[in-house]
Structure 1
Amino acid sequence: MIKESTIAQQLDHRTIRAFTKQPVAPEIIEQLVSVARHTATSNFQQAFSVISVTDQAKKQQIAAISKQPYVAANGHLFIFVADQHRNQQIGAEMGKTENQLGGADRFLQAWSDTTLAVQNTEVAAESLGLGTVILGSILNDAQKLIDLLQLPQLTFPVLGLAIGWPDQAPQLKPRLPEKFVHFENSYQLPTPVEPQLTDYDAVVHQYYDLRDANRRVDTFTNQVQQRLAMVPEKRGELLAVLRWQGFLLE
């Protein structure tokens, strides 16, 4: 049974982007990697790997890729990688030359293994009092990151995770009301959607206003509609990079 304190911790999750200079002890890093390794895995293939980026020059380059300067600052940086290369290597060493590890099914298995490991590691880190920020922004230039980390065929970077001792205490970010994300037995989105989100938009507007009065104040629905046709630079190349890595070729 999940302890009530664990649920309270998860409901109180806040993204932390500023860490103190106190380093995360090696034994904590080892413990968190152990948690990642013990995450649920599809078909027991364990199709992910974790890279600790400790080289400051590489952290700087990843910060540039992410366009998030804090990535290169204090804290420990993990890059979680979908990894079918290891299983291909095992098969090759056992004389198996044919494999389907680059197919959509195996890619999605590796992707889900990886994202589950990220979430597990984040929960564990926060249980120790650490702050965390998950970095989808590492895919702003996937090929550059692949080259930087020397990722072989049948691997692909999925998410970064920066952890450290918190040096900020941001507000709790408001989430969508349950009726828009939880349905029973079939998909039942209440429509029209946008008019029913007026109250939620007001809460989000206030959240941004209180977080930083000098920044643009926005609502949830406005953010959604602005991103409908937006393809960030380099992200339009993701399918090509995936195929270059040996995935989704069928």
Structure 2
Amino acid sequence: MIKNTMIDNQVTHKTIRAFKNQNLTKEQVVTLVEVARHTSSSMFMQQFSIIHLTDEKKRMYVRKISGQNYVGANGDLFIFIVDLHRNQSIRRQLGEDDGRLHKTDIFLQGVEDTVLAVQNMVNAAASMGLGAVILGSINNKPKELLNVLELPKMTFPILGLQVGVADQMPQLKPRLPLDAIFFENEYQEINIGDLEEYDKIVQTYYDLRDSNRRIDSFTKQVSSKKLGTKETKRDELLKTLHDQELCLE
């Protein structure tokens, strides 16, 4: 495998969940947002926006929604939003109707733009010696989040991102074997027996990380309640998208 500084940072990436009690400088924030702003964009529609959440009350609400005590605590919190409202407003001001903006296809293009921007900011943060954690947990209660952020129709928060000075040194989390995710020309079905060695590695990783909290192998996690049939507030996602006038067709 080719080695360079950028590749080394990416293949040794560690999620940071504990940050020192200091905020980013204005220069650091501007640099991170500029990197996100220059992310590749589907059809050049640039269908995302970022909210830098500095209001302590709103950060507290997002923490409660996420159910994770480090969210909105130390470091800086960014909320990445699929934003079709801006282009809707532009079209209407130019005397055009909404066109395809309410279709699922366009929403997914906005999701692509937004997620790519998140990852670009994570990479930039790492290059600056900062830690970061991507927060899918902000959508544990999607309707509440929309209210907290006071978002207009045709927008939807996809991911949060917390960035700051790391206050922990976690282990590198083991990933699936290459041949389990990378194929030539056609999809290959997984054989659970081929993951036996990987399961042992994952179990050892968790045992070393927290010997008092038993967490089983990867395959047992997949078969656990994580992907079970229990109902959660996240089951409201599609209805919430429809309420936001997104994914209507």
TM-score normalised to the size of structure 2?
0.96
Q: Distance in 2 between matches of 1:224 and 1:98?
A: 41
8 Å CA contact 1:140–1:232 kept in 2: the answer is no
Which residue is equivalent to 1:117? 117
Q: Distance in 2 between matches of 1:43 and 1:59?
A: 33
For the structure 1 residues 3 and 30, does the alpha-carbon distance in structure 2 shift closer, same or farther, using more than 3 Å as the test?
Answer: farther
Aligned-partner residue type, residue 245 of structure 1? Q
Q: Distance in 1 between matches of 2:56 and 2:231?
A: 26
C-alpha displacement of 1:38: 0.0
For the structure 1 residues 42 and 164, does the alpha-carbon distance in structure 2 shift closer, same or farther, using more than 3 Å as the test?
Answer: same
Which residue is equivalent to 1:57? 57
1:214 to 212, 215, 239: 212
8 Å CA contact 2:72–2:162 kept in 1: the answer is no
Q: Distance in 2 between matches of 1:179 and 1:51?
A: 38
Which residue is equivalent to 1:26? 26
Which residue is equivalent to 2:36? 36
C-alpha displacement of 1:232: 5.2
Q: Distance in 1 between matches of 2:230 and 2:82?
A: 23
8 Å CA contact 2:23–2:164 kept in 1: the answer is yes
Q: Give yes or no for the alignment of 1:8 onto 2:18.
A: no
Aligned-partner residue type, residue 49 of structure 1? S
C-alpha displacement of 1:22: 2.4
Q: Distance in 2 between matches of 1:178 and 1:117?
A: 25
Which residue is equivalent to 1:178? 178
Which residue is equivalent to 2:163? 163
Q: Distance in 2 between matches of 1:168 and 1:206?
A: 20
Which residue is equivalent to 2:197? 199
C-alpha displacement of 1:98: 3.7
For the structure 1 residues 169 and 230, does the alpha-carbon distance in structure 2 shift closer, same or farther, using more than 3 Å as the test?
Answer: farther
Q: What secondary structure does 1:52 align onto?
A: strand
Q: What secondary structure does 1:69 align onto?
A: coil
8 Å CA contact 1:39–1:117 kept in 2: the answer is yes
Paired residues, what number?
247
Q: Distance in 1 between matches of 2:25 and 2:234?
A: 35
Q: Give yes or no for the alignment of 1:94 onto 2:94.
A: yes
Query: What percentage of residue pairs aligned between the two structures are identical?
Result: 51
Aligned-partner residue type, residue 126 of structure 2? E
C-alpha displacement of 1:164: 0.4
For the structure 1 residues 232 and 30, does the alpha-carbon distance in structure 2 shift closer, same or farther, using more than 3 Å as the test?
Answer: farther
Aligned-partner residue type, residue 124 of structure 2? A
Deviations 1:49-102 (A, max 9, x none): 000000111111101100011013110000000010000000011001242211
RMSD: 1.3
TM-score normalised to the size of structure 1?
0.96
Q: Distance in 2 between matches of 1:167 and 1:232?
A: 35
Deviations 1:128-179 (A, max 9, x none): 0000000000110111111111111111110000000000000000000001
For the structure 1 residues 230 and 171, does the alpha-carbon distance in structure 2 shift closer, same or farther, using more than 3 Å as the test?
Answer: farther
For the structure 1 residues 129 and 113, does the alpha-carbon distance in structure 2 shift closer, same or farther, using more than 3 Å as the test?
Answer: same
Q: What secondary structure does 1:71 align onto?
A: coil
Where structure 1 has 5 or more consecutive residues not aligned to the other structure, the ranges are: none
For the structure 1 residues 50 and 98, does the alpha-carbon distance in structure 2 shift closer, same or farther, using more than 3 Å as the test?
Answer: closer
Q: Distance in 2 between matches of 1:241 and 1:3?
A: 44
C-alpha displacement of 1:3: 7.6
Q: Distance in 2 between matches of 1:28 and 1:228?
A: 38
Q: Give yes or no for the alignment of 1:248 onto 2:222.
A: no
Where structure 2 has 5 or more consecutive residues not aligned to the other structure, the ranges are: none
Which residue is equivalent to 1:228? 227
Q: Distance in 2 between matches of 1:161 and 1:37?
A: 15
